[in-house]
């Protein structure tokens, strides 16, 4: 079997979390690829090649990345037949009153109105403030938002808020769920009309990223 983490990352923290999830799942005997929709076209991804799928997206102003939501809608029938999970990344998760980042329940309810299927797992992870990687304007905007949300923030110091133990636990639990599902059911077959040339093209583009993130054996 094989799984994939499909994610969008703007500031870099969602990418780091996605790579950790993929690495941990691979260590749990579920070889897992990663795919960044901000760098590669999600329309070329053969999602039905995989036996389990994880989606990840940052939340900006109460919204997930539209490319992630599009992918979930486009492949909803297939995704309803395999184990799926979703993680959100939000800097202001601790402050439940912050309108820019809704609570986990609010995000889940909003997703139900947009997606005709529901992932079996959904969690929200805190993000990070990486001032050293921001431009002049973004650095000051993020600093202001952090102070308004009650975070300690200094422009010259990056701050990590992600609970990596939580990330590892999420990945382990989902890998175990996916492996159990795979053993208990027949292998998912790729439809005859699947665009195999596009799938092959994607693998040529993407394989180098997978190998650099975590060793994967088939």
Q: Cα–Cα distance between 25 and 20 in angstroms, integer? A: 8
Region 20-46: what's the mean pLDDT?
A: 94
The confidence score (pLDDT) of residue 151 equals 67
Bridge-based pairing of strands 159-160 and 128-129 is antiparallel
What token pair was written down for 40? 């590669």
pLDDT-derived band of residue 1, with 50, 70 and 90 as boundaries? very high
Q: What is the tens place of the pLDDT at every residue in 72-96? A: 999 999 999 999 999 999 876 555 4
Contact 112, 58 (CB under 8 A): no
pLDDT surpasses 90 at 194 = no
Question: Residue 63 gets which letter from DSSP?
Answer: B
End-to-end CA distance of the chain, in Å?
Answer: 8
The confidence score (pLDDT) of residue 71 equals 93
Residue 45, judged by CB atoms within 10 A of its CB (0-12, 13-18, 19+), counts as buried
Q: Give me Rg for the CA atoms of the chain.
A: 18
pLDDT surpasses 90 at 23 = yes
pLDDT-derived band of residue 171, with 50, 70 and 90 as boundaries? very high
Domains and CATH numbers, the chain: 3-127+162-213 (3.40.50.360), 130-161 (no CATH)
The confidence score (pLDDT) of residue 106 equals 65
Bridge-based pairing of strands 3-7 and 52-58 is parallel
pLDDT surpasses 50 at 212 = no
Nearest to residue 92, comparing CAs of 81, 80, 76, 103?
103
Q: Cα–Cα distance between 204 and 210 in angstroms, integer? A: 11
pLDDT-derived band of residue 167, with 50, 70 and 90 as boundaries? very high
Bridge-based pairing of strands 52-58 and 32-36 is unpaired
Residue linked to tokens 């992870």: 125
């Amino acid at each position: 079997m094989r799984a994939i983490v499909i994610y969008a990352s703007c500031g870099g923290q969602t990418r780091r979390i996605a790579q950790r999830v993929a690495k941990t799942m691979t260590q749990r005997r579920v070889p897992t690829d990663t795919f960044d929709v901000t760098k590669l076209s999600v329309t070329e991804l053969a999602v039905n090649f995989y036996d389990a799928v994880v989606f990840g997206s940052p939340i900006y102003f109460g919204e997930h990345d539209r490319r992630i939501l599009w992918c979930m809608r486009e492949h909803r029938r297939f995704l309803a037949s395999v184990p799926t999970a979703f993680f959100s990344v939000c800097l202001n998760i601790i402050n439940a009153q912050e309108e820019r980042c809704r609570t986990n329940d609010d995000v889940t309810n909003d997703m139900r109105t947009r997606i005709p299927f529901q992932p079996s797992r959904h969690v929200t992870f805190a993000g990070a403030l990486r001032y050293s990687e921001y431009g002049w304007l973004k650095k000051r905007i993020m600093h202001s938002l952090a102070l308004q949300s009650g975070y300690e923030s200094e422009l010259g110091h990056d701050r990590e808020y992600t609970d990596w133990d939580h990330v590892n636990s999420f990945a382990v639990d989902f890998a175990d769920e996916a492996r159990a599902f795979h053993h208990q059911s027949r292998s998912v077959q790729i439809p005859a009309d699947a665009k195999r040339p596009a799938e092959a093209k994607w693998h040529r583009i993407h394989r180098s990223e997978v190998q650099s993130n975590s060793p994967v054996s088939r």
